[in-house]
Amino acid sequence: MANGTLERILYLEDEPDIQTIAQLALETIGQFTVEACSSGAEAIEKAENFAPDLMLLDVMLPDMDGPTTLSELRKLSRTAETPAVFMTAKVQSQEVEAFKAMGALDVIAKPFNPATLADQLKDIWNNRDQQ
Amino acid sequence: MTGTNFEETFKQLKMEFTDKLDDRRGEIRDGWAALKDAKGQSAQQEAAQTVQLPIHYLVGAGATFGYDALSEIARPLDVWLRDIIRAKEQVTDENLPAMTAQLDTLLHAMEDAAANPQS
């Protein structure tokens, strides 16, 4: 198991209802501190001050998409090496590999189950040295 | 925040999702009509982008709110529209009937879901 505890998650999702239920699940079930953002620009603006342990990014967003947001976050000193996980409805294996090649630790498929989302992230976090 | 708050909020969001299904149906139907009328690759890409948004949303959100069928039925439409947007595919007389049939299945499933909300 890797060192460090997962506590702070920067979460990017533009759909309000999905954002609300995922944030609630991560905070109540996972006991994480979550900073939710609705756009890539907002995530970039909040990232340095929030200092996340992990970034959870939706892929398809209307302006700046998840992969572009990640590449911008990588330019910030505080998030240059912060583990990132994408959430996407695109779950074909070649696409998952492409997301990992962009620097994502893993990919969570949408639709997701809110009751198990926090455990999924904990598993990814705990196994991150093996990936 | 307590588990009860989670359950109450989840229930509320599910109700809101269900309440908005009729509006989203109209949005998808109008977007599809525009796609069928679009002439040329660029116009098709633009129309596909518009109608893909609510369909992609259903893929990602349907099962999260208990409507697994909506996610499953919407997924092939989402993939096809994405291919049009990326110019890997075009709307043709050969592929349109099958995709329109899939769309009709989705619209009926949305109508059923709105009429029979998940508890």
Residue that has been written with the tokens 């040329």 in this structure? B40
Percentage of chain B modeled with pLDDT above 70: 97
pLDDT for res B38: 94
What's the rounded Cα separation, in Å, for the pair A65 and A86? Answer: 11
Note the pLDDT tens digit of each residue in B46-78: 999 999 999 999 999 999 999 999 999 999 999
A76 shares contact with chain B (CB less than 8 Å)? no
Q: Is residue A37's pLDDT more than 90?
A: yes
Burial category of B78 from C-beta neighbours within 10 Å (exposed 0-12, middle 13-18, buried 19 and up): buried
A31 phi-psi bin (left φ>0, alpha ψ -120 to 50, beta other): left
DSSP secondary structure code for residue B119 in this structure: -
Query: Could you tell me the pLDDT band of residue A51, with boundaries at 50, 70 and 90?
Result: very high
Non-local CB neighbours of A127 within 8 Å, separated by 6+ positions: none
Q: Which of B2, B60, B68 sits opposite A18 (nearest CB)?
A: B60
Which of these, A53, A15, A5, A7, lies nearest to A37 by C-alpha position? A15
Q: Where are the alpha helices (DSSP H) in chain A?
A: 16-28, 40-50, 66-73, 93-101, 114-126
B interface mutation test: which of A12, A13, A14, A18 has the most B CBs within 10 A?
A18
Q: Is residue A46's pLDDT more than 70?
A: yes
What's the rounded Cα separation, in Å, for the pair A86 and B94? Answer: 35
Give me chain A's average pLDDT, please. 93
What's the rounded Cα separation, in Å, for the pair B43 and A42? Answer: 31
Higher pLDDT, A59 or A3: A59
DSSP secondary structure code for residue B95 in this structure: T
A94 shares contact with chain B (CB less than 8 Å)? no
pLDDT for res A128: 86
Q: Can you tell me the mean pLDDT for A111-116? A: 94
User: How many other CB atoms are found less than 10 A from the CB of residue B88?
Assistant: 9
CA angle A118, A28, A106 (to 5 degrees): 15
Higher pLDDT, B40 or B119: B40
* Chain B residues close to A24, C-beta within 8 Å: 1, 5-6, 9-10
Is residue A84 a contact partner of residue A59, using CB atoms and an 8 Å limit?
no
pLDDT for res B2: 57
pLDDT for res A1: 44
pLDDT for res B118: 75
Note the pLDDT tens digit of each residue in A52-100: 999 999 999 988 999 999 999 999 999 999 999 999 987 778 888 999 9
pLDDT for res B29: 98
Burial category of A77 from C-beta neighbours within 10 Å (exposed 0-12, middle 13-18, buried 19 and up): exposed
Q: Can you tell me the mean pLDDT for B79-92? A: 93
CA B23 distance to own-chain centroid: 11
